[in-house]
Amino acid sequence: MNGRALLRRLAGLLYGAVLIAIFAFLTAPVFVVTTISFSNESFISFPPARWGWRAYEQLLKDETWLQPLLRSLELATSVGVLSTIIGVIAVLGIRRTRLRGAALWEFVGLGPLVAPGVAYAVALYAFYSSIHLLGTFLGIVLAHTVLALPFVLLIVGAAMTRVPRQLELAAQSLGAGRIEAWLQITLPMLAPAVIASFVFSFITSFDEAVVANFVGDIGFVTLPVQMFDSVRFGVEPVIAAVSTSLLAFTALFGLLYGYARGRA
Amino acid sequence: MTAVPALELVGVTKRYGAATAVDNLDLQVAPGEFLTLLGPSGSGKTTILKIIAGFEQADRGEARIDGRDVSVLSPGERQIGVVFQHYALFPHMTVAGNIAYPLRRRRWPRPRVDVRVAEMLRLVRLEAFADRYPRQLSGGQQQRVALARALAFGPKLLLMDEPLGALDRTLRLEMEEEIRRIHREAGASVLYVTHDQEEALTLSDRIAVMRNARILQAGRPRDLYERPNGTFVAQFFGDCNLLPVEEVLGRAANSARVRVFGQDVSIPASCSPDKIGVANAAVVVRPQLLSIGAIPAQVTVPAVVRELLYLGNAIRLTCELAQARTLIASVPAQGAGETKVGDTITLSWDPAAAVLVLADGTATTVDKETP
């Protein structure tokens, strides 16, 4: 074996090692928290001395966790539906009408993507307190919808470029009104993007803690907020169970998104 | 024409910013007629189609269908079939679903829709493809589905925007025949847009040649080919020799006596002979009008063969004349005998079959404002 081949071999090994290290660094926390969630002890230890479902039983029995979980699911679903509907209509308006200042509207819609989250949360706190939306379901749905909207605009906007405008014109020439053409031709072709938008909006809302902490106040505590609060007073295995559930939900929706993309 | 035109455009004008896409245009399509708008890209033909279909609003003028102004109607209310260059089939619907779409919009009862869809599939010979999706069809088949869909609800007027533009040559020729047959059987008036002059000649009852937002000449294909009203139209329909007029010797009702190649001949004019002058006119001689050998009573000119193309049914000769001018001749293959490159031959052409036209080629200024 000559020197160059040896060098190449070493480089290959190094490359493999780095890849494995990165992968391990990314997945190890997930592995650890999942393992801990199946601990039957009352404090966190890794690996657990006793295994069992205690943490999950506690999660489902304990009102402190079950309530925020259901609340977060309800919230994320509402945000997913609302931002997807608004986003699709916005994209149609921006791309398929003679709306003045379309580019400006799109820019405004994408704003939350770059706005600093904490600052926005503080601003919302001040604003909501003056219009009595603090701690309400509606208030937090609206705030999260704003945060999720950029994803819908980007995903549906990208998909829209692949729907030729000619199809809408064809539908109109065949007797459809403009809205009919959108509903019957454009929307079905956007279906995968619409599903993906829902998934992204859902996840955006489901694990959002900063804005939820501010505008939810004490009246509306979501799951991520409850998790923050709980680690402040001490770490129990139940928090690992909550984290694992959250991961499982997100992964499930990620798969759904992958399926939708595969079909697109 | 006593019947109300199927389509009538009166003074239609459309501007995009400073550019005029359609300039004060008048046009009539008779019931059952196949009229082609022919012109280079950017001449405004597609804009006209869009205005008629209702996808664009004219700035001035009216589009009348069966005598009725349709400017206020939405595209769907105009009852016009439209066939697009890229077919515009709905990818998430089957062939049958696509053809049924306009019928569903009109709330036809289900059994009637089924009968009509079967009828249209038979018309375009795609009976076996009813349940396929557009992506499973070839380009030619997709175009036939588009035709069937546009004709399904029985429109009296069909607009076609470069429908064969995306097909290869063999398929195009096949589809041309198909379109002619379907036009005959469906009986709708057709306004067809293309930049391909062969397509226009084969398909149309009448052709309107467009350039710079205006119609230069409209007429039967044969008239346009044989009696173009200007050098642009003459050159648009394939090869042609444009010979300069050396002197105008006299003018009659429909012809002028001019000197060409030093010979005094009388040549029919496509415009009023009074307008014919030395600087602004040319004699159009199609290559197939030329023959080898001196023929009495014809214009003859000596020439040297510089290039010779064997085309099977004909031979195309590029000949050099005195003063480095060239003439293109197309002669029957058997008539060319043993002609070789480098030979000096005599070319003859019948002045009565040539035509005097006004020069409107590149020399014409583009934007003349009409008051």
Contact at 8 Å (CB) between B134 and B71?
no
C-alpha distance across the termini of chain B, in Å:
30
Q: What is the pLDDT of residue A264?
A: 56
Asked if the C-beta of A170 comes within 8 angstroms of chain B's C-beta atoms, the answer is yes
- So what's the ipTM on this one? 0.80
Instruction: Please choose, from the candidates A234, A208, A235, A233, the residue with its C-alpha nearest in 3D space to the C-alpha of residue A222.
Output: A208
C-alpha distance across the termini of chain A, in Å:
49
Find, in chain B, the residue whose alpha carbon is nearest to that of A169.
Answer: B55
Find, in chain B, the residue whose alpha carbon is nearest to that of A180.
Answer: B105
Nearest to B74 among A177, A185, A189 (CB): A177
Interhelix angle A223-233/A237-263, nearest 10 degrees: 150
**How far does the CA of residue B145 sit from the closest CA of chain A (Å)?**
13
Instruction: Please choose, from the candidates B177, B162, B168, B178, the residue with its C-alpha nearest in 3D space to the C-alpha of residue B85.
Output: B162
Instruction: Name every chain B residue with its beta carbon within 8 A of the beta carbon of A96.
Output: none
Residue numbers of chain B with a pLDDT score lower than 70:
1-2, 335-336, 361-371
Instruction: Name every chain A residue with its beta carbon within 8 A of the beta carbon of B88.
Output: 164, 166-167, 169-170
Contact at 8 Å (CB) between B101 and A171?
yes
DSSP B275-286: G--TTTEEEEE-
Specify which of A9-18, A33-42, A99-108 reaches the highest per-range mean pLDDT: A9-18
Q: Which residue has the tokens 């415009």?
A: B271
Instruction: Please choose, from the candidates A203, A234, A179, the residue with its C-alpha nearest in 3D space to the C-alpha of residue A80.
Output: A203
Instruction: Please choose, from the candidates B123, B81, B83, the residue with its C-alpha nearest in 3D space to the C-alpha of residue B103.
Output: B81
- Cα–Cα dist A115/A150, whole Å: 11
Q: What is the pTM of this model?
A: 0.80
Do A174 and B150 count as a contact with CB atoms less than 8 A apart?
yes
pLDDT, tens digit (0-9, with 9 covering 90-100), for A47-65? 878 888 888 888 888 888 8
CB atoms within 10 A of CB B94: 18
Give me chain A's average pLDDT, please.
Answer: 88
DSSP B291-317: EES--TTSEEEEEEEEEEEE-SSEEEE
Q: What is the pLDDT of residue B340?
A: 83
Name the β-bridge partners of B309: B316
For the residues A238-257, what does the mean pLDDT come to? Answer: 84
Q: Which residues contact A35 (CB under 8 A, 6 or more apart)?
A: A46, A47, A48
Asked if the C-beta of B187 comes within 8 angstroms of chain A's C-beta atoms, the answer is no
Instruction: Please choose, from the candidates B352, B341, B343, the residue with its C-alpha nearest in 3D space to the C-alpha of residue B293.
Output: B343
**How far does the CA of residue B90 sit from the closest CA of chain A (Å)?**
7
pLDDT, tens digit (0-9, with 9 covering 90-100), for A66-107? 888 888 999 999 999 999 999 999 999 998 888 888 888 888
Name the β-bridge partners of B356: B269, B283
Q: What is the pLDDT of residue B365?
A: 32
The continuous run of DSSP H or E covering B267 comes out as: strand B263-268
pLDDT, tens digit (0-9, with 9 covering 90-100), for A177-224? 989 999 999 999 999 899 889 989 998 998 898 999 898 877 788 888
